[in-house]
Amino acid sequence: MSKLLEQSTNFQVVAKFLGVILKDGYRVKYLRVAIAAQEYWIKLPKELSHKFDRNLSVGSWLEIYGTQTLERKKGILKMEASSFMTVNEPNDLLKPMVNEQKAIAKPKNQTACILICQKSDCWQRGGKEVYQRLEEQLSDRGLSDLVQIQKTGCQKQCKQAPNLVVMPNKARHSNVRPSQVDGLLNRYFGNTIV
Ligand code: FES
- 92 and 9 inside one domain: yes
pLDDT at 180 over 50: yes
Lowest mean pLDDT of 17-26, 45-54, 160-169, 170-179, name the range.
17-26
Percent of the chain residues topping a pLDDT of 70: 78
pLDDT value, residue 6: 61
Q: Which of 74, 82, 4, 5 is nearest to 43 (CA)?
A: 82
pLDDT at 37 over 80: no
- 19 and 94 inside one domain: yes
123, HSE (Cβ side, Cα atoms, 13 Å): 8
Tell me whether residue 47 is in a domain.
yes
Q: Is 154 in the pocket of ligand 1 (CB under 6 A)?
A: yes
Tell me whether residue 107 is in a domain.
no
Q: Is 164 in the pocket of ligand 1 (CB under 6 A)?
A: no
User: Which CATH number is 162's domain given?
Assistant: 3.40.30.10
Order of strands across the sheet that contains 171-173: 148-152, 113-117, 164-167, 171-173
95, HSE (Cβ side, Cα atoms, 13 Å): 17
- 38 and 94 inside one domain: yes
Q: What is the mean pLDDT of the chain?
A: 79
List 63's β-bridge partners, or say none: 14, 85
The domain in which residue 85 lies consists of 3-101
Tell me whether residue 106 is in a domain.
no
- 167 and 90 inside one domain: no
Tell me whether residue 40 is in a domain.
yes
- 89 and 160 inside one domain: no
Mean pLDDT comparison of 76-80, 110-114, 121-125, highest-scoring range = 121-125
Ligand 1 nearest atom to the CA of residue 157, by list position = 3
- 94 and 118 inside one domain: no
Burial of 179 (C-beta count, 10 Å sphere; 0-12/13-18/19+) = exposed
Give the total number of structural domains in the chain: 2
pLDDT value, residue 111: 56
From 101, 126, 154, the end of a domain falls on: 101
- 14 and 50 inside one domain: yes
Helices (H), ranges, 64-179: 120-122, 128-140
Q: Which of 105, 42, 100, 102 is nearest to 77 (CA)?
A: 105
161 confidence band (pLDDT: 50, 70, 90): very high
Tell me whether residue 55 is in a domain.
yes
- 150 and 94 inside one domain: no
3-state secondary structure of 128: helix
- 95 and 8 inside one domain: yes
List 39's β-bridge partners, or say none: 34
Pairing of strands 76-87, 38-43: parallel
Tell me whether residue 177 is in a domain.
yes
In the reported structure, the alpha carbon of residue 115 is separated from the centroid of ligand 1 by a whole-number distance in angstroms of 12
- 84 and 167 inside one domain: no
- 69 and 137 inside one domain: no
Tell me whether residue 108 is in a domain.
no
In the reported structure, the alpha carbon of residue 123 is separated from the centroid of ligand 1 by a whole-number distance in angstroms of 8
- 97 and 7 inside one domain: yes
101 confidence band (pLDDT: 50, 70, 90): very low
In the reported structure, the alpha carbon of residue 170 is separated from the centroid of ligand 1 by a whole-number distance in angstroms of 16
From 79, 101, 123, the end of a domain falls on: 101
